[in-house]
Amino acid sequence: MQSIENKILNDLLDKYENSKLSRGENQRAVHIVFPFKKSTMPKYFDESSLEIEIIHAAAEQMEREGLVTIVWKNQKPGYIIEKLVLCEAHVEEAYEKLGRKPKREAEERTKQILEQFSGKTQGEVTRSFLSRMIMRLEREQSVKEYLDIMDHRKTEQLIDTLDKVERNRKEYYIREFSMEHFHDSKVFETLIPKICKIFREENEELTGFENEEILAEYQIYKTPGYVYIKGNVQIYSAGKQAADISAFPEGIAVAVGSEEDTPDICPDQTIDKVFTIENLTSFYRFKEEHSLVIYLGGYHNHSRRNLLMQIYQKLPDAQYYHFGDLDAGGFYILEHLKRKTGIPFQMFQMDIETLKKYEDYAKPLTENDKKRLMQLEKMELPDEERKLITYMLQKGIKLEQECISESQ
């Protein structure tokens, strides 16, 4: 019976908190009701159920306590309940019975917590998120997509974790980070989806990034990262030659961890072109003489950028190209690559002519594709890239890199 009372009262209080009644703004005789329907109380309409009498007893008990008024169908008491009406004069007793805090009180406490964090955190993403949440609470807008206003411990945990990730400068694996900060190897993983959603929304440079890619930006990794390389290159580790990559025509995978663990890449000085490739299949079939070819696996992280900048220092006069999907993700990867490394990457086979040539293999743009491409148009881009994006929006198409046949 208690569970039935809790269900009904919680539903009534939810409606009350979302109504003008709770703010004293109700200008009409509007009441908060819990209708008895199959959708709200299925067992009440199940003739084989034994709970009908229990439900009646629960409703009558709440009425005796002054919390609700029962409206009987056809005004026949004890027959069929049509709805329960919340007694607004005894709302405080309903909260007390449930052990529940009023929404406005919980929102005010949540706002205080956010303001306390805002006064001490230095991270731009964290501060921006806090400011947005405080503003929403002040405007009486919902924050439940991110915060549980009834669970202040969870709110504090989320903000503290967001701040710790943003300020992190030490390399961790995900479970190491969790042990360090929570003394539990799995707690952090439960927070990752929400944490990464916030990073994507507050930092436009991370738009389109997968969760693992975002964490890698802050040197938190799921597993050791690998970079695939092919070309006339020698690799040294701890001062000793580890591999002659030219002996492997299809290339080899090199583990790239911390800055100290990054191998020493020594490219042959005959190399005049360096290519970064977005997709592994395209990496395998790509062939170009006097070139160094690198598969980064989508977005690059801190460690992979260190490797690229090491190569750029040794081959400053080479031409640098990025070959990726002709879609929003491909362009974001390219722009992020240029901004974060300072290397003057150019597009390779990412142009209107290529798109026209393989248009039969193109896919239609989704609404999200269009939105992201329009966001890119607002950025400072080379004319060739801007024209390609405009053409894609006009035609409503995109092209996967694997569709482009290489004839190097």
**For the chain, what are the domain ranges?**
2-98, 103-217, 225-403
Q: What is the pLDDT of residue 404?
A: 85
| H or E, element range at 34 | strand 33-35
Pick from 14-28, 124-138, 172-186, 374-388: least confident: 14-28
Q: 70: which 2 tokens? A: 């029962």
Return the closest-CA partner of residue 206 out of 214, 216, 198: 214
List, in order, residues 6 or more apart from 185 with CB less than 8 Å away.
Answer: 175, 178, 179
29-46 burial code (b ≥16 CB/10 A, e <16): eebbbbebeeeebeebee
pLDDT band at residue 18, thresholds of 50, 70 and 90?
confident
Per residue in 212-265, pLDDT (tens digit) is 888 988 889 887 778 899 999 998 876 677 788 888 988 988 877 655 667 888
- pLDDT at residue 387 greater than cutoff 90: yes
């580790």: which residue's tokens? 237
- pLDDT at residue 300 greater than cutoff 90: no
pTM > 0.85: no
Strand partners, 253: 228
Q: What is the pLDDT of residue 405?
A: 54
Q: What is the pLDDT of residue 249?
A: 87
| Separation of alpha carbons 97 and 181, rounded Å | 37
| H or E, element range at 111 | helix 103-118
| Separation of alpha carbons 59 and 38, rounded Å | 17
Q: What is the pLDDT of residue 303?
A: 76
Strand partners, 33: 85
| H or E, element range at 62 | helix 52-64
- pLDDT at residue 407 greater than cutoff 50: no
Pick from 293-307, 325-339, 349-363: least confident: 293-307
Pick from 24-33, 79-88, 361-370: least confident: 24-33
Check: CB of residue 55 under 8 Å from CB of residue 78: no
Arithmetic mean of pLDDT over the chain:
88
SS3 64: helix
Q: What is the mean pLDDT of residues 300-305?
A: 76
Return the closest-CA partner of residue 228 out of 301, 278, 288: 278
| Separation of alpha carbons 146 and 336, rounded Å | 27
Assigned fold of 2-98: Arc Repressor Mutant, subunit A (1.10.10)
Across 148-199, the runs of DSSP E, i.e. the strands, are 172-173
Q: What is the pLDDT of residue 319?
A: 97
182-191 burial code (b ≥16 CB/10 A, e <16): eeeeebbeeb
| Separation of alpha carbons 18 and 140, rounded Å | 10
Check: CB of residue 322 under 8 Å from CB of residue 337: yes
Task: Provide the 8-state DSSP code for 276.
Answer: E
First-to-last alpha carbon distance for the chain, in angstroms, is 75
The alpha-carbon radius of gyration of the chain (Å, integer) is: 30
pLDDT band at residue 206, thresholds of 50, 70 and 90?
confident
Burial of 356 (0-12, 13-18, 19+ CB in 10 A): exposed
Check: CB of residue 174 under 8 Å from CB of residue 188: yes
pLDDT band at residue 408, thresholds of 50, 70 and 90?
very low
At residue 398, what is the residue type?
K
pLDDT band at residue 17, thresholds of 50, 70 and 90?
confident
SS3 341: helix
Per residue in 153-192, pLDDT (tens digit) is 999 999 999 999 999 988 888 999 999 999 999 999 999 9
Q: What CATH class does 225-403 carry? A: alpha beta
